[in-house]
A and B are shown apart, each in its own frame.
Chain A
Amino acid sequence: MKPINEVTSVLTPLNRKNVDTDQIISKEFLKRIERTGFGQYVFYHWRFDALGNPVENFVLNQPEYKGSSILVAHDNFGCGSSREHAPWAILDYGFNVIIAPSYADIFHNNCFKNGILPIELSIQEVEEILAISEQIATEATVSLEKQTVSIGTKVYPFEIDAYYKQMLLNGWDEISLTIQYDEQIKRYEQNRTVFA
């Protein structure tokens, strides 16, 4: 997993609540057996019409947001299916930071395993950022180390779990970390309740 700390990019505003992982990556694209190559399908049915032509007014198709690494979303982002193909698609498309007021639990967890920083700000702050970035393409700088989102002179601090912060900053492979607890796992296995 690639470490992440400072990201400077134009913000992509996706002003919609309860965006489910079926919208992020539709089921017809889940049959690949690799972790890569999903970016081309992200938000497919919002990006393209039934004939495969780009939907012009969808934010990802607007030229001023091309190349953005920061997605700004609304409440309960990533709800529904546990498919990790959703964060894979988001990352492969080019986003490695998401800003939203809240996330669904499984999606939130999946972000940390893939080097995506899911930032939580208050609803008021997110709506303010959505409004600015919908009006005109706006650049922001995110620092994980300092736990801040900076837009012009305005600085939004955010909270993050200390454990996951270290994972993201260092790009750690969680399994290698857990293997260091092998003794504890073995001890647990010897003592666990099992009925014949």
Chain B
Amino acid sequence: MGKNIIEKVWDNHIVHEEEGKPDLLFIDLHLVHEVTSPQAFEGLRLNNRQVRRPDLTFATMDHNVPTQNLPVINDPIAKKQIMTLADNCREFGVELADMGHPDQGIVHVIGPQLGLTQPGKTIVCGDSHTSTHGAFGAIAFGIGTSEVEHVLSTQTLWQNKPKTMEVRVEGQLAFGVAAKDIILAIIAKFGIDMGTGHIVEFTGEAIHALSMEERMTICNMSIEAGAKAGLISPDATTVEYIRGRKFAPQTEFEEAAAYWLSLASDEDATYDEVRIIEASEIEPIVTWGTNPSMGIGVSKNVPAKEDFTDESDKQALQKALAYMDLEEGTPITSIAIQHVFIGSCTNSRLHDLRAAASVIQGRKVADGVRAIVVPGSYSVKQQAEQEGLDQLFLEAGFEWRESGCSMCLAMNEDVVPAGERCASTSNRNFEGRQGAGSRTHLVSPPMAAAAAIAGHFVDVREIMKATV
């Protein structure tokens, strides 16, 4: 019987296996950022331990960094955390893409961009959106700070082998539907804990038709469906994306590519669970509630109690709508927004910025709306500026910022005020995620840009149709 990619990559990384214990797994790439690492480095110091493989460790600053008026950091505690990472990297010999460095950016944007992310690797980072790197056919997952310390010290982790799940997206996407809509639709359909205890492989025609940047959007949010990790079998698109990147194999690239392609799930591979969704069913999605499964097509209305059978779901609806200040049955397109955030490890890559810019078409951001664009990395920003995207955004009244996590989690100064609404291309609409009392609606980059111009949600397909 054939094997799926999850089993192949897992089995390739077992350092030690023993009855009654988790597997000891080797970690090929450890990405580090300022928020979840200081306590780990401190642990090493207290126990007189070293970083075992600085060559497999790469650090950047993203969560706390300001996105304007660089290099001034107004928040003294954030500044201390940022300085602490720089000190730790120096002390332990870890390569750092510091603020102002050409490789700096959101950790899940720069890993792929630099060619560090490759098929068949095990990749970890103290950040739940590490699942992003699964787009390349890597097993990539978020870990806590104790595990960060464990990997720094031993380059391994004890892990119970998760179950496997196939999520198949059959058929072709309809006109005007983005990768973000696919993953939001999957989470809306199968739930926020669909993948708990599982690694998910996304398969199907609609998935393999996507570019690498779009695949990253899908895998990025597999954690929002509770999955340990989400991945996609490598194919020609994967190989071509990696070719020539800074840390990609050079002289042995063809051998590497052949090896990567051999990791793809076998035709007769099986999974512990299978979920199927038709691509043609999916329309642009807007979340209306306080977790990422609370999403619905833009042409529909905010759900009502009658739409749910389970008593606890009815209660969850009421709590969410109270927080979001929405009424049951309200048309999604009548919800007015005051903020737009285009950015985050989900949707801040060049493809996302192009897609958002394409719906502006010479129009202006609506009165009373503040819209910011935060490129995912310094390099994305440079490329976008070479294409003139910054000018398109600026002329329309968007702010054009430096790279970082920014308003996705509002650890820096980019905060949505209490009671105000944000159309956001990020990944979480939890209570207070973008600022205490803030209300987040998750959407794709074109949907966010269209909302900025209209001042409320609109069906971006109508704008796109008008230009075809």
Contact = CB atoms under 8 A, between A and B. Distances in A.
A196 B16 CA distance: 26
Interface residues of A, number: 50
Contacts of A45: 431-432, 436
A175 B432 CA distance: 35
B38 A178 contact: no
B42 interface: yes
Nearest to A112: B146
Interface stretch (B19-27, B175-183, B210-218): B19-27
Looking at A27, A79, A106, A189, which has the most chain B CB atoms within 10 Å of its CB?
A: A27
Interface string A17-44: 1101011001110111111000000000
Given A23-B430, A161-B160, A195 B253 contact: yes
B152 to A, nearest CB: 9
A151 to B, nearest CB: 22
Contact of B193 (A30, A75, A113, A175): A75
A110 B146 contact: yes
Contacts of A18: 192-193, 291, 316
B437 A50 contact: yes
A106 B418 contact: no
Interface stretch (A6-14, A81-89, A90-98, A131-139): A81-89
A179 B153 CA distance: 9
Contact of A174 (B20, B150, B160): B150
A62 B384 CA distance: 53
A175 B153 contact: yes
B144 A110 contact: yes
A181 B259 contact: no
B226 to A, nearest CB: 6
Nearest to B432: A45
A84 B22 contact: no
A75 B253 CA distance: 46
A180 B382 CA distance: 47
B240 interface: no
Given A22-B432, A33-B39, A84-B36, A181 B144 contact: no
A193 interface: yes
B54 interface: no
B248 to A, nearest CB: 9
Given A75-B193, A181-B24, A185-B15, A50 B228 contact: no
A130 to B, nearest CB: 11
A105 interface: yes
A70 B255 CA distance: 55
Given A17-B312, A106-B142, A175 B150 contact: yes
Contacts of B63: 30
A146 interface: no
Interface stretch (B78-86, B95-103, B264-272): B78-86
Contact of A82 (B120, B127, B150, B436): B127
A23 B432 CA distance: 8
A102 to B, nearest CB: 6
B146 A76 contact: no
Given A33-B39, A163-B21, A185 B249 contact: no
Interface string A128-162: 00000000000000000000000000000000011
Contacts of B249: 195-196
Nearest to A192: B26
B297 interface: no
Contacts of B84: 33
A175 B154 contact: yes
Contact of B36 (A82, A87, A178): A82
A82 B144 contact: yes
Contact of B146 (A22, A32, A113): A113
Nearest to A48: B436
Contact of B158 (A105, A163, A185): A163
B64 interface: yes
A55 interface: no
A33 B38 contact: yes
Contact of A181 (B16, B291, B437): B16
Interface in A37-66: 45, 50
B433 interface: yes
Contacts of B128: 80-82, 106
Interface in B125-166: 126-128, 130, 141-147, 149-150, 153-156, 158, 160, 162
Given A33-B84, A109-B144, A76 B193 contact: yes
A184 interface: yes
Nearest to B130: A82
B80 A33 contact: yes
A87 to B, nearest CB: 8
Contact of B150 (A20, A161, A178, A193): A178
A102 B196 contact: yes
B346 to A, nearest CB: 14
Interface in B222-257: 223-224, 226, 228, 249-253, 255-256
Contact of A106 (B38, B144, B156): B144
Given A33-B38, A185-B156, A196-B251, A104 B196 contact: yes
Given A76-B193, A76-B226, A106-B142, A195 B259 contact: yes
B309 interface: no
Given A84-B146, A109-B144, A196 B291 contact: no
12 contacts: A20-B291, A31-B411, A33-B39, A33-B84, A76-B196, A81-B127, A87-B144, A109-B143, A163-B22, A175-B153, A185-B24, A193-B12
Interface of A: 16-18, 20, 22-23, 26-28, 30-35, 45, 50, 75-76, 79-84, 87, 102, 104-106, 109-110, 113-114, 161-163, 174-175, 178-179, 181, 184-185, 188-189, 192-193, 195-196
- 4 tightest A-B contacts by CB? A113-B146, A84-B144, A195-B249, A33-B38
